[in-house]
């Protein structure tokens, strides 16, 4: 499976608008966390930043989609897809 094909699969796991909204909220929380860590100069806390989104995103999967998050099968590709979907939502390519 190519990454482009995987992204289409990833989007199929995120059809409920509330799941996408929770992902966006999680990505915004991640950006705020990174900003706060950089502002405070607590650089080693950046190691935690990839995990900030998970409580938000996984809630959407368990409560609305009733499926397993993509991170369970391909965590690195799923993380990249998180950011691509975030960009697509912000640019209006995906409705939320």
Q: How many domains does the chain have?
A: 1
The residue segments making up the domain with residue 76 are 3-90
Residue 96 inside a domain? The answer is: no
In a domain, 95, yes or no: no
Residue 82 lies in a domain: yes
pTM, 2 dp? 0.92
The answer to whether residue 9 sits within a structural domain is yes
d(CA 29, CA 79): 15
**Mean pLDDT, to the nearest integer, of 48-72?**
96
pLDDT value, residue 96: 84
Tokens of 63: 């409560």
Give every CB contact of residue 25 below 8 A, 6+ residues apart in sequence: 56
- What is the rounded CA–CA span in Å between residue 2 and residue 59? 27
pLDDT, position 22: 98
């Amino acid at each position: 499976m190519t990454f482009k094909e995987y992204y289409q699969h990833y989007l199929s796991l995120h059809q409920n608008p509330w799941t996408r909204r929770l992902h966006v909220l999680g990505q915004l929380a991640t950006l705020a966390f990174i900003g706060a860590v950089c502002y405070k100069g607590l650089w080693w806390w950046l190691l935690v930043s990839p995990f900030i989104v998970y409580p938000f995103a996984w809630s959407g999967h368990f409560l609305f989609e009733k499926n397993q998050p993509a991170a369970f099968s391909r965590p690195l590709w799923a993380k990249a897809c998180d950011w691509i979907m975030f960009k697509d939502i912000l640019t209006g390519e995906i409705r939320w």
